[in-house]
Amino acid sequence: MSESIHLNKYYKRSRISERQFRVFLKHFCYDETAERIAEEVGISRQGTLMLLAKMRNRILEWCAEEEHLSGEIEVDESYFGARRVRGKRGRGASGKVPVIGLLKRNGKVYTQVVQNCSREQLLPIIQGKVLSESTVFTDAWRSYDSLILHGYDHYRIHHHENEFARGKNHINGIESFWSFTKARLLKMKGVRKDKFVLHLKESEFRWNYRKQMYQEILKRLRKNPL
């Protein structure tokens, strides 16, 4: 990279120009590899990795600032990580990282890593993020049993009975998000466990702003540069 410091309203004290940063951001929004981004921007792979890390940490901050969800909300958990051990399936899968996802229909998704999928872990997250009197759709997992007692209209879909949708009663939206996120991580050939939250939240941000991600990031960075 150049030894000079460039004026760049999106990236403070940057050694890349504003034009280069826009090229970086365009290819970041295309979800391309660090090698391809480095080639397109004209900077080193190490410099690209440093910039990617800065972007992902900023996205983590932005996701934490998102507003509460209300209306029709789909709730589900998923598991990420090591291959499934034979005989260990679903919520008992060994070595996997459990994540809860909350998705407002025709709106945004919110994710959070949890220690396990017990009621004690999941309920406070739902209460902290979903406004009361919202309508919540889940599968039949027992940890959701008390939602109706906490001010939510609650509808279940019974996957164990081969039921996947009954009119508006489904969780297809959040399941689509899980598929999207796992496909991204598969393309990356997995990520380090200590970096997983960054990539999870990047997937969340990509999903939430998929129609205007480039412009959304530029707008935010004009207010508060990297």
pLDDT tens-place string over residues 30-39? 999 999 999 9
Rounded to the nearest 10 degrees, the angle between the axes of helix 34-41 and helix 18-29 is 150
pLDDT score of 79 more than 90: yes
**pLDDT tens digits along 125-174:** 999 999 999 999 999 999 999 999 999 999 998 755 444 556 678 999 99
pLDDT value of position 163: 45
Give span(s): CATH 3.30.420, the chain.
72-190
Task: Please tell me which residue, 150 or 191, carries the higher pLDDT value.
Answer: 150
CA distance 181 to 148: 30
pLDDT value of position 1: 42
Q: What is the mean pLDDT of the chain?
A: 90
* CATH classification for the domain delimited by 72-190, as one of 3.30.420, 3.30.1460, 1.25.40, 3.90.550: 3.30.420
**Cβ atoms of 111 and 204 closer than 8 Å:** yes
Element (H, E) at 99: strand 96-104
Please give the average per-residue pLDDT across 175-194, as a whole number. Answer: 92
pTM: 0.90
pLDDT value of position 84: 53
CA distance 28 to 26: 5
Edge to edge, the sheet with strand 72-81 lists: 109-113, 96-104, 72-81, 135-138, 153-156
